[in-house]
Amino acid sequence: MRYLPIFMKLTGRPALVVGGGSVAARKVRLLRKAGAEITIVAPKFCKELEQLTHEDKIIFSRCEFRDADISDVSLIIAATDNRAVNQKVYDLAQARHIPVNVVDSPDQCSFIMPSIIDRSPVQIAVSTGGSSPVLARLLRAKLESFVPAAYGRLAALVDEYRQRVKERFTDPDQRRFFWEAVLQGRVAELLFADRGDEARGALEAAIEDTSDSFDSTGEVYLVGAGPGDPDLMTFRALRLMQQADVVVYDRLVSPPILDMVRRDAEMIYAGKERNRHTLTQESINQLLVRLAKEGKRVLRLKGGDPFIFGRGGEEIETLAEDGIPFQVVPGITAAAGCASYAGIPLTHRDYAQSCIFVTGHLKDGTVDLDWEKLARPAQTIVFYMGLHTIDELGRQLVAHGMSKVTPVALVQQGTTQHQRVFIETLGSLPGLVEREDIKPPTIIIVGEVVNLSGKLKWFGDDGR
């Protein structure tokens, strides 16, 4: 271990910063956050530092550095562009055993500063021991995406109840189980959903609960997994996938996404192929209720966005009626995902001022749409579930006044490695699906914006 990681208490402690430029300003910002009493020595100060002159916790010493500036301080940072001055600060600090950091000069540091993920009071510090600050920053970015923004609130809540929990559970193992259940269950989710009072209520109930299982109410997470590319999932979706006990998923959820679910979670396939629903909608609704009532954290994973042609609304209506807690996590809907990956902006100042999402499939298999409204100029139409009725869709649009040469894009398995894009016209649609053996899931985009695909395409695919 090249360096020992420690967290230093600087509240009310004196710290010295030598240098008045933007690098010094960055360090001053951090020291202020840590509550230090800062003295800055420099003949000149940058704008950012000048704005702090009214602060009573910062002393500005407007002169060149002198040896006497090294007094009894807790920590010293040198951020000048003068090597001799930096060296001097370092030597003097070392002689007095004061921790010193010369910015960007590892050889002149008795301590180094990590990349910080700040979820105060939770702090995660990343260091590569000075080997590669870029790598540390990349790691930091990964961790930033992984640790919910509201994590600090969770730590503050634990702090508030720590003593009470200690008194209630005298056995350390039991205490650990308790906190593990609380920090990965309903209490945490309530806090993340900005419902602090309810989180406190649930935590208190769990403390008072005399049964063996803490936090025994289950919860349903209705989560949109996006159109296929796992990179397009939200941070929240990923976090809930890693904490769920059981996952109920649809056919549309792609295998690489399913691979990201917690390894020991139970997986239930709910099907949802056209006309071949493995489970009926009613039995899916009931399944979710039953699993949650068993105290499980249930992830209902859906392709795209759960509230866009996803029947998400129906599923949580049943939950709401049964008083089951739930949360809804949006996903990138197929229209947005496929359009981006096919280089088709759904709106464009020159070609389309509106965009309309419709389903090409109705319950009894017929298409009954407001064609007048769809066939308007300067509008993009996106058909979900329209593959089986595509000939009819094209015919009706033409019959209602659209030109036969209006461009149409079919995007099959959009955003995945199997994406195929076909650029056609309303007139060339008949027979296309059979000719090209196009399979679901496929989305159909109609409108002038489709022409931009030739120019704006950036994602590789197997279409033509």
Binding positions for ligand SAH, rule: CB under 6 A: 227-228, 252, 302-305, 308-310, 333-334, 338, 384-385, 411, 413-415, 440-443
Measuring CA to CA, which residue among 250, 245, 280 is closest to residue 262?
245
For residue 249, what are the contacts with CB-CB under 8 A and spacing of at least 6? 258, 267, 268, 269, 270, 301, 302
Write the CA distances from 445 to 107, 303, 432, 448, integer angstroms.
60, 18, 15, 10
Amino acid letter, 433: V
In the complex with ligand SAH, which residue's Cβ is closer, 126 or 237?
237
Which residue's Cβ lies closest to ligand SAH? 304
Determine the Cα angle at 258 with ends 414 and 139, to 5°: 90
- Catalytic residue selected from 250, 302, 305, 461: 250
Q: In whole angstroms, how close is the CB of 24 to ligand SAH at the nearest point?
A: 49
**Ramachandran assignment for 8, one of left (phi > 0), alpha (psi -120 to 50 degrees), beta (any other):** beta
Contact criterion met (CB below 8 Å) for 449 and 344: yes
In the complex with ligand SAH, which residue's Cβ is closer, 93 or 382?
382
250 is catalytic: yes
Cα–Cα distance for residue pair 247/66, rounded to 1 Å: 66
264 is catalytic: no
For residue 119, what are the contacts with CB-CB under 8 A and spacing of at least 6? 147, 149, 150, 151, 152, 155
Contact criterion met (CB below 8 Å) for 302 and 328: no
Cα–Cα distance for residue pair 78/65, rounded to 1 Å: 10
> Nearest 5°: phi and psi at 291?
-60, -40
Q: In whole angstroms, how close is the CB of 258 to ligand SAH at the nearest point?
A: 14
Amino acid letter, 69: D
Residue 150 tokens, joined: 């509201």
Q: How far is CA 372 from the centre of its chain?
A: 40
Determine the Cα angle at 314 with ends 311 and 317, to 5°: 150
In the complex with ligand SAH, which residue's Cβ is closer, 20 or 337?
337
Residue 312 tokens, joined: 């998400």
Measuring CA to CA, which residue among 397, 227, 389, 247 is closest to residue 303?
227
Report whether the peptide linkage leading into residue 256 is cis, meaning its omega lies within 30 degrees of zero: no
Determine the Cα angle at 383 with ends 378 and 385, to 5°: 180
Residue 396 tokens, joined: 């009706």
Measuring CA to CA, which residue among 36, 130, 17, 31 is closest to residue 79?
17
Q: Give the three-state DSSP class for 288.
A: helix
In the complex with ligand SAH, which residue's Cβ is closer, 352 or 385?
385
- Catalytic residue selected from 27, 88, 229, 272: 272
Active-site residue set: 250, 272
